[in-house]
Amino acid sequence: MKPVLLILLSLFSSSLFAQQFTISGKITDEGGRPVPFASIYIKNTTKGASANNEGNYQLRVNAGKYDIQYKAVGYAQQSKTVEVTADRVINIGLQTETYQLKDVTVHAGGEDPAYAIMRKAIKKRKSYLNEVKAYTCDIYIKGLQKLLAAPKTFMGFDVQKATNEAGLDSNRRGIVYLSESESKYSFIRPDQVHEEQVSSKVSGHNRAFSFNRASDMQVNFYENFENWEGLSNRPLVSPVADNALFYYNFKYIGTSVENGETINKIEVIPKRAHDPCFEGVIYILDDSWRIYGLQLYITKKANINFVDTLKVNQQFFPVNEKTWMNSSIKFEFTGGLFGFKIGGYFISIYKNYNLDPDLSKANFNEQLRITKGTAKDSTYWEQARPIPLTGEEIIDYRAKDKLAKRRESKEYLDSLDKANNKFKPVNLLFTGIDTRNRYKKEYFHYDPLIGSMLYNTVEGLAIDYGAGYSKLVDTLNNRYFMLNGKLRYGFANHLFNGSTGAAIPLQRFTLGLNGGSDVVDLNNLAPMSAFVNTLHTLLAKQNFKKLYQKQFASASISGRITGGLQGSAGIEWANRKWLPNATSFSIFNPHGHQFTSNNPLVPDQDVPLFPENKSLTVNLRASYDFSNKYETYPSGRRYLPSKYPTISVNYTRGISNALGSDVDYDKISADISKTGISMGFYGNSSFFIGAGKFLNAKSVFYPDYFHFTGNEVFSYKPRINRFLLLDYYDFSTADKYLEGHFEHNFSGFITNKIPLIRKFKLQEIVDINYLYTPQLKNYAELGFGLQYLNIRAMYGISYHGGTEAKSAFRLGISL
């Protein structure tokens, strides 16, 4: 009976005591034009709403008498006392704020009054940054992205078809992302955050959660810099930063009075057009010298990425007599690339602040929580949203909700699979074939024939063809059961190999099973791809890659043990056989280039590097990144990168006299690494330090050595522990080693100051690499270069024993 009683009581109380009414209307300026995203708040509370892009608003309240404030940056605030006993329509006209100049005397060549105001604001920056030690609040976020223009096709992709299926119009224009969400947000200074998304709606996806994040919307101009990674290679300087006067000019516009507060309007002007600075207007309160609001923007002149213009509109309101907090933040953007033009905005509305919450840092390991029941229907949102939908948004929700229901049906999924799973010979040759059964959540992949062809001096022309199967078996944690297999045949040495593998989810761990035979790199780090080796072998008569045959069976288990601790354990039995060269064919024969043997230590003679042998090895690996921070999604946890370095330890035991094993050794290695260490305005740094030693080396063969990620060709794939010029095989060791790598990316600190060059958004790279082994002694590299997007050009110089050994250009490509 208790559940029934609770339901009756809740119905009774909600209908009798919590009946709400709606105050709605339109906010316009003196010319009758809508004032978009104006703020509406009940006086002396943090409860309110916002107008939409068309100036329409709605505020839900209980019956009673209220003082309602209407305001927007740049307009005079208007207050209205309202007695609410039924729904009310109240249209509001806001007047453009008139700013009066103070009675100041400015002499010729004298300083603008704005500088005195901004100096006081800068002086108070740190106190306001640390003013609130902790708080909680509720945040509503709305995001809208529109495709404003697009080509019919792009690099063979049918854009017209894709936009039609997504519900856009025939001109490939319309809303591509529309979403709303509500979150409960908690904060403890300096950087402890917890966000729980309690409701969401995504146009066209009835069951999906929103990708709106309150943390992504946080902006605090009391910080010296705004680090908007991805958008800008460099941190953006705040107008109230400690060194703001070095980057900005300020112009005094005037003052206005609102609620007894004197507000100074200051124009913000970058001193240099291409510095990472904002333009626009900032409003500073007199006497307290805190930020009242701001309208700032940055453009392509500041070398931002992806968008042409980004506008930031932030408003504050008093939460109590002394403290002001965010009332709303809006980001508005436009941009374009390759014929595509986009535009949109994200806006967040804050309410229900608590500046004295009972919070414990122990509960902040989880930084974001989104549960399965987050998605809410239209009925819920009609009552919950503080910003009314525009006509365009209403149409988009209705049309795409119907489309979403159809997309979830088996008939639709089958028809989609039937259309996309059609066999095309061109795919078999160049891209591979992908077939799927969306309803059963099964996926098949077959490699392309052209991409499976390779050439080396050991096998000659070879085919290494693979296929894979995966099935989603754990929807909650987004985990797949996977099978793969491949066949390999060398037409010169007539060797046939085949292998297969499986990955099986076991709760939070993965069991791996593999077996068969293969032709593999003598360097187990595989520093050179088969494709690059094919090009050098056929076109330049350089056979850098050295290979051997391995017949094997292995099993492993890996996963996250707890928090930042991850681990793996594996066992492998293998029969290993060195292979000689089988061909010397090359299309071109450049002067001075000759093929070497498949023995890297004896390049002039094709003598075996090691006898055929069997090995049984056990490997244990653990890594820890000193972070327990994670996000929880309906699909499971996602652990976040740590601000501290990652430490890893690896131990391998070669077991003798078991299953015919010929090896007998123990080796251990450890490393510590960190990427993307922020150096503020001067870019970011990364480092890797590793060391290893054979504790026992009674019976060791070359594949068991410690190997290093060398590079001897023009192009390479950048990674922090990679050398620019080191030989692939000569310096592998069965003794001990110490290696170190340091890289600094200046993120355009230098090139952005050079006219014409700055528009390319180049990043300056400095590389330092070091390696010690008892045989090599001291080897070092120094590299300098430039990077554009994922492509970098480097010039490297190597030193062996203090003497310059080699220098060369290198082209790094990250895909």
pLDDT score for 28: 93
Tens digits of residue pLDDT in 116-150: 999 999 999 999 999 999 999 999 999 999 999 88
Question: pLDDT band at residue 17, thresholds of 50, 70 and 90?
Answer: very low
d(CA 718, CA 794): 11
Asked if pLDDT for residue 238 goes beyond 70, the answer is yes
Joined together, the tokens standing for residue 258 give 């609102």
Q: Identify the CA nearest to 576 among candidates 525, 532, 528, 617.
A: 617
Residue 759 domain-assigned? yes
Considering only 7-16, 237-246, 403-412, 515-524, which range has the smallest mean pLDDT? 7-16
Asked if pLDDT for residue 8 goes beyond 80, the answer is no
3-state secondary structure of 535: helix
pLDDT score for 229: 80
Average pLDDT of the segment spanning 740-763: 89
Dihedral (CA of 721, 723, 728, 733) sign: negative
d(CA 544, CA 457): 10
Residue 464 domain-assigned? no
Q: Are 486 and 465 in contact (CB under 8 A)?
A: yes
Considering only 141-155, 201-215, 308-322, 641-655, which range has the smallest mean pLDDT? 201-215
Residue 513 domain-assigned? no
Tens digits of residue pLDDT in 331-367: 999 988 888 899 999 999 999 999 999 998 888 999 9
On the question of a cis peptide bond just before residue 190, with omega within 30 degrees of 0, the verdict is yes
Residue 777 domain-assigned? yes
d(CA 698, CA 611): 16
If one compares 614 and 371, the residue with the highest pLDDT of the two is 614
3-state secondary structure of 329: strand
d(CA 626, CA 642): 7
Joined together, the tokens standing for residue 719 give 């990674």
pLDDT score for 374: 86
Out of 71, 93, 115, a domain closes at 93
Tens digits of residue pLDDT in 422-459: 888 888 898 899 998 878 889 999 999 999 999 999 99
Tens digits of residue pLDDT in 219-236: 999 999 998 887 888 899
Pairing, β 460-474 against β 442-446: antiparallel
Half-sphere exposure of 572 (CA within 13 A, CB side): 25
Q: Are 56 and 26 in contact (CB under 8 A)?
A: yes
Asked if pLDDT for residue 167 goes beyond 70, the answer is yes
d(CA 692, CA 708): 12
- Conformation bin of residue 282: beta by default, left when phi > 0, alpha when psi is -120 to 50: beta
Asked if pLDDT for residue 711 goes beyond 50, the answer is yes
d(CA 293, CA 325): 10
d(CA 720, CA 520): 24
d(CA 712, CA 727): 6
Q: What is the pTM of this model?
A: 0.86
pLDDT score for 207: 65
Q: What is the largest CA-CA distance in the chain?
A: 99
Dihedral (CA of 144, 149, 153, 155) sign: negative
pLDDT score for 16: 36
Residue 782 domain-assigned? yes
Per-chain mean pLDDT for the chain = 90
Q: Which helix (H) or strand (E) holds 617?
A: strand 613-624
pLDDT score for 438: 79
Question: pLDDT band at residue 109, thresholds of 50, 70 and 90?
Answer: low
Q: What is the CATH number of the domain that holds 23?
A: 2.60.40.1120
Asked if pLDDT for residue 301 goes beyond 60, the answer is yes
Half-sphere exposure of 468 (CA within 13 A, CB side): 15
Out of 63, 93, 123, a domain closes at 93
Out of 59, 93, 127, a domain closes at 93
pLDDT score for 106: 53
Question: Would you tell me how many other CB atoms lie within 10 Å of the CB of residue 212?
Answer: 23
Tens digits of residue pLDDT in 570-614: 999 999 999 999 999 999 989 889 999 999 999 999 999 999 999
At 537, which amino acid appears?
T
Q: Which of 65-69, 110-114, 463-467 has the highest mean pLDDT?
A: 463-467
* % of the chain residues with pLDDT over 90: 61
Question: pLDDT band at residue 2, thresholds of 50, 70 and 90?
Answer: very low
Residue 57 domain-assigned? yes
Q: Which residues, at least 6 apart from 642, have a Cβ–Cβ distance to it below 8 Å?
A: 564, 625, 626, 627, 629
Tens digits of residue pLDDT in 384-409: 899 999 999 998 888 888 777 776 67
d(CA 49, CA 501): 56
Asked if pLDDT for residue 101 goes beyond 90, the answer is no
d(CA 660, CA 575): 10
Number of domains in the chain: 2
Q: What are phi and psi of 771, to 5 degrees?
A: -145, 135
Q: Are 197 and 179 in contact (CB under 8 A)?
A: no
Q: Which residues pair with 616 in a beta bridge?
A: 573
d(CA 752, CA 760): 9
Residue 715 domain-assigned? yes
Q: Identify the CA nearest to 715 among candidates 812, 789, 603, 782.
A: 812
Asked if pLDDT for residue 413 goes beyond 80, the answer is no
Domain that holds residue 29: 18-93
Considering only 35-44, 199-208, 703-712, which range has the smallest mean pLDDT? 199-208
Asked if pLDDT for residue 648 goes beyond 80, the answer is yes
Residue 713 domain-assigned? yes
- Burial letters 120-134, b for 16+ CB under 10 A, else e: ebbebbeebbebbeb
